[in-house]
Amino acid sequence: MRSRYVFLLAILAVVFAYAGTQVASAPESNTLPILPTPDFSKLTAHPVIRVVDGDTIVVSNKGKDIKVRLVGVDTPETVHPAKPVEHYGKEASRFTTNLLKGEKVYLVGEPLPGALDRYGRTLAYVYRAPDGLFVNAEIIRQGYGHAYTQIPSKYMQEFKQLEQFARKAEKGLWGPAPASHEPAILKHVVLNEDVYDIPLKTQVVLNILVSGEISESGLRNLLQKLYSSTKARGGFKYHSSPTNIYIYAFTSKERFESGMGQWIAMLQQSPGDLGPRISINKRQIAQLGAKPEEKFGLSEEKRKEIWKELVLIEDRSQKEAEERNPLSPHLTQSQFRRQAEKIVRLQEQLEKRYKNQLAKKYHLTRKQLEEIAMEGVTKDWPMPK
C-alpha cells in the first residue's frame, strides 16, 4: 500500500543523497559560486581513519594510511610543532571531525592525482561519500577556514567568494564571539529500544525523538555519543557487547509511528564496518526553520491533513480492489494475471473517484491536489499510520 508515495520518497532520497554540494552546501545568497560535482562513479571511496586538524585528514587506501591535505583551504593551526594553537583552531578541527568521522570520502587530486606537498601529504579536493559534500568548500563557507591564496589552485576564486560570504555573515572565526565548545548535544528521549540477543548477533535498535536547535553537526554529535554508550554496554548472553547497532532519530512521534522510515538521521554499525556510518535526511534538514506558507487558500497544517487523506485513498483503493477481485492460489497463471490486471484497473478507477471527492470537499482542482501530494513528498511530511 501507499506504494506510489513510497516510490517517490525513495527517488527523492537518491536525488538528495547524490546532489552533492548543491544540497549540502546550498547557496545562502545569490553571490555564492556554483561548484561542479565530479563523476563519483569513477572514483574510490576511502574510509576516513582520523582527522588531524581542520584541513588535514588520514584515509585508508588499499590497506595503507594516507595523510591528505585539503587543497585551497587553510584552517587555524592546532598541531603544528612550531606554532601554538591558533584562534578557532580547535573549533575548526571539531567541525571537520563532525563532518567526516566514520565516513568515507572521494579524493580528487590537485594539480594531479597523487601530488604531494613538502610534508609528504597527498593534495586533494575531498568529497564526502555518498552525499558528495565538497568538504574543502564547506569548511570555508561555514567560516572554519579561509581561502588559501599563496599557491594558485583550481577553485581559488570560488573559495575567495565563499570566504567573503562567511565574513559578511560573521560565520565561525569571522564572528564577534567564537564558540569555545562542542555543538550542544540535542535534547532527546528514547521512543523505544529493541534488543535481539542470539548466537548470530547481539543487535540493539534505538529510536529517539530529538528536539532543540537541530543541525547536521548536532545530530552527528548526538548519534556518535549514543553509539559510544551503546557499544560499551554489556550483560548480553551471546556476545560481550552489541555486534550490530542501529540508532534512528525522529523529529516527531508522527514520523516514527508512520513506520515508513521518516527519520532525520540514522547511525548503523555492523560487523566488518570500520566504524559507525551516519546518514542524514537532507529533505528534513532543508525544512528546519522554514516558515509555514499558505497555498490555495489553505494553511500548511490543513494541506498536511489533505496529504494524509491522499495517502489513505491509495490504501483504501488497493484494499477494495483486492477484496473485489481476490487472488486465489488455485488460479492458473493466465487467470492470476487477468485477475491482477483487474485489480490494477479497479484501483486506478477508485483512486480517481475518491480524489475527485477529496478535491470537491476542499474546493480544489485535481492539479492543486497533485501539487499538495508532491509537496508532501518533497517536504517529507509525516505519513499516517
Active-site residue list: 69, 77, 121
The whole-angstrom distance between residue 267's C-alpha and the CA centroid of its chain comes to: 11
| CA-based nearest residue to 127, from 119, 115, 139 | 139
CA–CA separation, 378 and 305 (whole Å): 16
Phi, psi of 340 (to 5 degrees): -65, -40
What's the grid cell of residue 364? 480544489
Q: Quick one: DSSP state of residue 365?
A: -
Q: Which residues contact 75 (CB under 8 A, 6 or more apart)?
A: 53, 54, 55, 89, 92, 93, 96, 139, 144, 145
In the numeric block, which cell numbers belong to residue 280?
A: 542524514
DSSP string, 200-254: S-EEEEEEEEEESS--HHHHHHHHHHHHHHHHT----SS-SS-SEEEEEEES-HH
Angle between helices 333-361 and 366-378 (to 10 degrees): 100
| Interior angle at CA 384, CA 378 and CA 385, nearest 5 | 135
Contact 256, 207 (CB under 8 A): yes
Distance CA 21, CA 158 (A): 13
For residue 283, CA distances in Å to 103, 108, 287, 288, 378 come to 20, 27, 7, 9, 7
Residues 364 and 355 sit within 8 Å (Cβ to Cβ): no
The residue among 260, 189, 193, 183 whose CA lies nearest residue 219 is 183
Radius of gyration from C-alpha coordinates of the chain: 25
Of 4, 11, 5, 13, the C-alpha closest to 285 is: 13
